[in-house]
Structure 1
Amino acid sequence: MKVKEVADLVGISVRTLHHYDEIGLLTPEQTTESGYRIYSENDLERLQQILFFKELDFSLKKIKEIIDSPSFNQAEALEMHRKMLLDKRRRINTMIGTIDKTLKYKKGEIVMSNQEKFAGFDFSHNPYEQEARERWGDKAVNKSNAKLNSFTKAEKKEFEETFHAIYRKLAEVRHEDPASEIAQERIAEWYQFLNRIGTYSLEAFKGLGQLYVDDERFTKNIDQYGNGLAVFMRDAMTAYADNLQ
């Protein structure tokens, strides 16, 4: 199949397929004398694997590393995809249920506890851990994980409740000036909270804020607390770091 045919079949752009070729993620087995890329059945199977990993928020760099590994097994990968997607579906179904309940709560049809308002949000397993390892190194991530794992059940519950509370408080002031006194007070709480489980310099804190906007996965999760919260946090974290440096 030619590149345009593959793009139409899969529903992605020709430009994306060209990019995959350029970075060595998916290089067609054949190229015609005229320079047209010809994708084989093996190429399509590799593309399927790539898109399954991408759906699970793996970076292109990590996908290439996994698929090109001598130990990579396609059948095992598909079983893993299935397991992870089922888990993702369960979480999505729970969150849809939370939305439905919230709509009824807004109409005054039901009473909803604070715990019910956040059913489906799960931050106990970080889906972006690999990216964090690549950006800040294993030592920092392992230290954070060790700290979290040392918590008692009660401490973990308190940690999660504090996490949600900080995000809700930030969402309340997201329309204020990020450099305002109230915004800086609340972003300071986030900085102090992060340093409970790790060691974040002001520069790292500032870089983390930029990641919230640069990576749409972070933006999507953060903005669930309030549209535009990720951008607000980025700007508030930048102002906080600049003021103290």
Structure 2
Amino acid sequence: MATHNTFSVSQVSQMAGVSIRTLHHYDNIGLLSPIRRQDNGYREYTEQHLARLHQILVYKQLEFSLDKIRDVMCSQHFDAYSALAEQRDVLLRKLDKTQLIINHIEVAMSIAQGEKNLDILFTGLPAEKTARWKSQFAEMASDQSDYKDVMQSLGNLTQQESEQFQQVLEHWLQEYLQVLSLPVHAEDVQQLVLEHLKLQNRFLRQMCKGEEFSGIGYQGYLTLADAIIQEPLAYELFAHYAPSLPEHLHEAMMYFAEHKFKGNIDKYRQVAVGSLSSE
């Protein structure tokens, strides 16, 4: 520190976090004029200069132009309140635009995560089939907006949740393959059908983060069951594991719907609506 509480331009630059070039510019435009030493002409700043520099930097953070800052700080008749109110309105408009951009980015991130999660759900399946299935999945949507909505919802799952669901679903499929020779009303088959309902409820709950989800209803369950044999993509996915799996599972789900779900809708639409990690 120099004598008489003065500071060199390099010291002020370090203390304020601004470049020496910036301080020289402020001096040249009359915004912050330091003392000139008589012996060598070097710039020196006092504590009052530092306080003024702090004010300048505050206005800079508010995105005032240098001309506007000079008007605010140098004119005795300048209406600082009006200038600040005007700048606040400018910043609020920018904030709205910035938030809109952030929203678009977050949607794009969700869609990207959804597409990544879709790859996870196809883990272990033949690459040539998964490529075709993903293409068919995209075509199932009536338009690109519907596809993005589905991907965005799928993107609500974390990578860990997607991996867990894929593992649990794969385990369930392997267990169901062991009961394909049994009639659809057999207790072991119906227990696995109930487990399938639990899995679907948990999966949809995770996809509906931030939205109310009260479980798959009776009509929704019938639609889900019919989709297994009516939707070519769903049919082929299940048939990959065993040719008879789609029809057997469909009939088992319809039996479950008629003999259990229909008579106790509230109980079964609420079953296992917890997260995938609640086991």
TM range (shorter): 0.3 to 0.5
Q: Which has the higher contact order (CA 8 A, sep 6+)?
A: 2
Using the size of structure 2 for normalisation, the TM-score is 0.38
